Each structure stands twice: as C-alpha cells, then as structure tokens.
Amino acid sequence: MPYDAILAFPTTDNEMDSVAKMFDNGEGDTDYMKFLAALRAEWAEKKVLPEATLINNEIQRQVSKCTCKQRFRVEQVAEGTYRVIYYLIRL
C-alpha cells in the first residue's frame, strides 16, 4: 500500500521504511513506547518511582480523602509497614 494514501504529508517509500526500521522491535512490529517517546520527549524523561514511594504516595492520597471530624493518622513503622491510629469518641 502506498504510504501517501494514508498520510497527510508527502513522503517516499524509502523514507517511511527508514522511519519504520528505527522503531522495529526485532519482530517486524513497531515498538510503541519507543515511538511515543520519540514524539514526546517528556515521556522518555519520566522516571519510574520505587515501589515503596508509590505505596507511600497512595496511602497519603487515600488518607487525605478522609472527611471525618477526627481524622485517622497513619504512621510508617518500617518500610512497607504502616500503623493506623484512630480515636474513639464516646458520647
């Protein structure tokens, strides 16, 4: 299929083949993430956070959703271990 039938800009088969080879994952398919990273530089620079940081961020996010008058407190006891502190109010 000629590339100019599906693209909105003029190009040659040799140019498109060269671009396709840049993102080939070795199986004749395009490496999608590599392709996107080339289009958007900030995606390539994005660093993966350690799992402990992701867990801590999620705990803080969930605790911040609490709308109770007396909020729960969460303390980190050790890496991956947390303690929930709450107070019961008797009426």
Q: What is the pLDDT of residue 90?
A: 64
3-state secondary structure of 33: helix
Query: What are the sequence ranges of the domains in the chain?
Result: 3-45, 51-85
The four Cα atoms 42, 45, 48, 54 give a dihedral, to 10 degrees, of -50
Q: How confident is the model at residue 23 (pLDDT cuts 50, 70, 90)?
A: confident
| CA 55 to centroid of chain Cα atoms | 14
More confident residue, 76 or 8: 76
Q: What is the pLDDT of residue 91?
A: 58
* Predicted confidence (pLDDT) per residue in 35-79, tens digit: 777 777 666 566 777 888 888 889 889 888 888 877 778 888 888
